[in-house]
Amino acid sequence: MLTINDGNAKLNRRQLLSIGSLGLGGLSLASLMGVKAEAATLSEAVRNKSVVFVFQQGGPSQLETLNPKPTADDSVRTVCDVIPTAIPGVHFGEFLPRLANLADRFTNVRCFQTQNANHNIEPMVGPHSLDTSIPVHYSRVVGTTRPKTGMPTSAVLYPQSVMEGVPNGLARGNLLETGPYGAGYAPFVPGKDGQLQKDMELNLPRERFFEDRRTLLSGLDKLKRDADTSGQFEALDEIQQQAYEILLGGGVSRALDLSLEDPAVLAKYDTSEYVTKGAWDRVKRGRAGYYSANAGSIGKLMCLARRLCEAGCGFVTVHASYAGVWDMHSDLGNLNLIDGMNAIGWSFDHAISTFIEDIEARGMQDDILLICCGEMGRTPRINKNGGRDHWAKLAPLLLYGSGFQHGQVIGASDKTGGEPADNPLNPSHLISTIMNSLFDIGELRLVSGIPPQVLDLGQKPQIEA
């Protein structure tokens, strides 16, 4: 958290480098210079694109969202109404009307299976990602921050990033898992512990900042001396320039500050109308406030994700399932399918469709790959309480942007919506699609020092029509 106090204490190195989990980003050895010695080659291998991964933890039902089966047997049939989409002959569940109107702009994958039926964070972290969070592979190649701005190259957004006073209901599993790379490559988490971006404010008058310039430079000198032993810093002037840009430019904090967003645009993202306090109190998650927090935050989270991408963040994970609210068993903790989709379906539909419309209005549709999926799907058979249980063999998957061919449905499911009818796709296909969106894998193979894990992930088959 970047705070330079206007007191009598001198600026010490810890204060100078403190900016939450970023370590002032651009001033850390691993991220300030990145892989500078190979920058020319690396620049040819890194595409100027971002990924926004909307993680629907809990396991969204394919049958009530993107792959309904209204004519199936009574024990399987989609429990809600179905609606036509912009693609003739393709229908969605009734809770996704806005996405239905945009179906010709994204890809609906109906043969995707996570091969997982547990509450974890596959495909974000699991065997297919080599037990490392997907964005960590990206940051390991490009560095943890953008050298000139201090912008993190990856971030994880929870409701705390845009709302204060929300209950603690983070992901089941570690979305910051760094695997073999070390903790320094973990994604940035704004709003951790409810502090929001106010912790990143420069709490010092500009006059005092320049009066203490020598103190700041002294700290930079010490950092340079520490780094000189490795021969990575070529010029102190460059470090100084980047430090001032980070400290005074405020690019990171500005990107995180939604009050700087166009009010009309922010209003379009607002999903607070879907918060129905008390409506879900008959189950544990409702009493804890999870459904309300999820519905009230997801729109602003998507707006924040767009702002971060515009500012240079390459991979944004949006935890769009506060405490696993897509889990619809219908028991003491979870809602049934109808109540559950009422609680979170409308706000999800609003937020994701607004994001797509906003991206297209800004001409960014080729610059961002949007992914929406959870760690699993739901059983074809409805349980005795009107819910669906965990299911590994089929799950909904939405892809948009990054030059992907859209307005298509990839694959098909069997008559019960429980398994792919043919050509099953799994998280390895999805992760390879992500890696190839972010990198030119052929060029990346020519760059020395690239972890073999990254190359291996990018060389697997991708999702294709």
Average pLDDT for 114-129: 94
Say whether 268 sits in a helix, a strand or coil.
helix
Side chain identity at residue 238, one-letter code? E
By percentage, how much of the chain surpasses pLDDT 70?
77
**Predicted structure pTM score:** 0.85
Angle of the 213-228 helix axis to the 236-249 helix axis, nearest 10? 130
Look at residue 173 in the predicted model and tell me its pLDDT. 86
Look at residue 245 in the predicted model and tell me its pLDDT. 52
CA distances from 319 to 155, 175, 215, 421 (A): 11, 9, 40, 30
In sequence order, what are the residues at sequence separation of 6 or more whose Cβ sits closer than 8 angstroms to the Cβ of residue 192?
A: 20, 21, 160
> Higher pLDDT residue, 18 or 65?
65
Looking at every residue in the chain, the average pLDDT score rounds to: 84
Average pLDDT for 6-34: 40
CA distances from 372 to 225, 387, 397 (A): 46, 22, 6
Most confident region among 39-43, 289-293, 340-344 by mean pLDDT: 340-344
Look at residue 304 in the predicted model and tell me its pLDDT. 98
Look at residue 22 in the predicted model and tell me its pLDDT. 40
pLDDT-derived band of residue 13, with 50, 70 and 90 as boundaries? very low
C-alpha neighbours within 13 Å on the C-beta side of residue 214:
1
Average pLDDT for 290-294: 91
CA separation for the pair 67, 395 (Å, rounded): 9
Q: Report the range of poorest mean pLDDT among 37-46, 379-388, 444-453.
A: 37-46
Side chain identity at residue 325, one-letter code? V
Contact yes or no for 126/173 (Cβ under 8 A):
no
By percentage, how much of the chain surpasses pLDDT 90?
66
Going by C-alpha positions, the residue among 391, 308, 347 that lies closest to residue 135 is 308
> Higher pLDDT residue, 322 or 104?
104
Structure tokens at 243: 């430090």
In tens, the pLDDT along 165-199 reads 777 766 778 999 999 999 999 999 997 544 444 44
CA separation for the pair 282, 280 (Å, rounded): 6
CA separation for the pair 113, 375 (Å, rounded): 9
DSSP, residue by residue, 32-97: HSTTGGGHHHHHHHB-S-EEEEEE-TT---STTTTS--TTS-TTTS-SS-EEE-SSTT-EEETT-H
In tens, the pLDDT along 194-243 reads 444 444 444 445 454 444 555 555 665 665 566 555 554 444 455 555 55
pLDDT-derived band of residue 277, with 50, 70 and 90 as boundaries? confident
pLDDT-derived band of residue 427, with 50, 70 and 90 as boundaries? very high
Beta-bridge mates of residue 51: 315, 369
The structural domains of the chain, ordered by start, are: 1-32+203-249 (no CATH), 38-195+250-458 (3.40.720)
CA separation for the pair 376, 390 (Å, rounded): 7
Report DSSP state, residue 418.
S
